[in-house]
Amino acid sequence: MSDPFTGVQARRPRPQGLNAEFYERAATGRLHLQQCADCGHFQHPPRQLCRACTSGALSWVPVEGIGALYSWTTTHFPFDPGWAPAIPYLTGVIELPQGVRLVAALSAEVTPHIGAAVRVALSRLDDDSVLLYLRSAE
């Protein structure tokens, strides 16, 4: 199934630094999160130091990307005209079992409610861009 945002020609961010590393791993088709080797803490967005213990011993760990819908919003007026064909569109926040929350586009196939089972899907838009969106996990 193609993602629900095919054809959207919005400006795309060009991640840098640790954010670029996050998206490079996402481009492999698997969601990765930073995990601290010293205390086991997962974190997102990525940082140079562990947010829990300040260790610099962080590594990227593949995760399943299945969790619960924590929150969502509906956008009716696009800030970027490239998103106009998708209006209205949903943006959601998934809470993963690792205690991490991610913001992503929310597929229209999901009937949003707090706690809905959703999973992170990764859609490669071009050589440099990956879109994260949430699909139903039920």
Q: Which residues bind Zn ion (CB under 5 A)?
A: 36, 38-39, 41, 50, 52-53, 55
Tell me which H or E stretch contains 106: strand 101-106
Which of 28, 55 has the CB closer to Zn ion?
55
Can you give the length of the chain in residues?
138
Which of 51, 101 has the CB closer to Zn ion?
51
Radius of gyration of the chain (CA): 15
The Cα 71–Cα 86 span in angstroms is 20
Which of 53, 108 has the CB closer to Zn ion?
53
Which of 43, 107 has the CB closer to Zn ion?
43
**Residue 54 C-alpha from the chain's centroid:** 24
Whether a cis peptide bond, with omega within 30° of 0, leads into 62 is no
Q: Strands 130-136 and 101-106, how do they pair?
A: parallel
CB of 99 to Zn ion, least distance (A): 12
CB of 58 to Zn ion, least distance (A): 8
CB of 53 to Zn ion, least distance (A): 3
CB of 64 to Zn ion, least distance (A): 21
